[in-house]
Amino acid sequence: MKKKINIIYLLFMLFLVLLNYITKNSNILNLVLSSSLSILLYNIFSELNIKSTLEKYKNKYKIYKITIIFISLLFIVFSALSFLIGSVMSIKGLNIINVLGVLFTLTIIIIKITSIFLEYTKYKKL
């Protein structure tokens, strides 16, 4: 089901880009496109669960650190990609909105992973 939703979001974003070139009105497009990108990224990473990985390996802190570093690097790539897309499309203001959307999504995912880690290691929940 999640894959179908992600495909629908991707098609919707492509439709918005086409609509932007037809109408040349980018005010509403900025908000809708950036929120769609944020929702797409959140849906992709919302199923991320490190509980099974923590159960499998003994060094839980190392797994947690590697997961956080990997997700941070991935989101840096997504931020750079969204910045490049905004520059190529030359839509004013899209760069800042996309980078903020990616940072917001990154924060939510890191809080979720930290909460799972703290719950698994018997610390108080966030």
Read off the pLDDT of residues 10-58 as tens digits, 9 standing for 90 and up.
777 777 777 667 766 666 666 676 667 777 777 777 777 777 777 788 8
Q: With respect to residue 126, please indicate whether it lies within any of the assigned structural domains.
A: no
Q: With respect to residue 68, please indicate whether it lies within any of the assigned structural domains.
A: yes
Q: With respect to residue 109, please indicate whether it lies within any of the assigned structural domains.
A: yes
- Work out the burial of residue 109: count CB atoms within 10 Å of its CB; fewer than 13 is exposed, 13-18 middle, 19 or more buried: buried
Cα gap 29→31, rounded to integer Å: 6
The pLDDT assigned to 49 comes to 74
Q: Is the pLDDT of residue 76 over 80?
A: yes
Q: With respect to residue 34, please indicate whether it lies within any of the assigned structural domains.
A: yes
Of 126, 120, 123, 102, nearest to 63 (Cα)? Answer: 120
The pLDDT assigned to 80 comes to 83
**67 token code pair:** 């997961």
Q: Which domain does 78 fall in, by range?
A: 2-120
Q: Is the pLDDT of residue 106 over 80?
A: yes
Residue matched to tokens 């797409």: 40
Q: With respect to residue 20, please indicate whether it lies within any of the assigned structural domains.
A: yes
- The number of folded domains in the chain is 1
Q: Is the pLDDT of residue 125 over 60?
A: no
Q: With respect to residue 54, please indicate whether it lies within any of the assigned structural domains.
A: yes
Tell whether pTM > 0.85. Answer: no
Residues in CB range of 108: below 8 A, 6 or more apart: 42
Q: With respect to residue 113, please indicate whether it lies within any of the assigned structural domains.
A: yes
Q: With respect to residue 28, please indicate whether it lies within any of the assigned structural domains.
A: yes
Q: pLDDT tens digits for 19-32?
A: 667 766 666 666 67
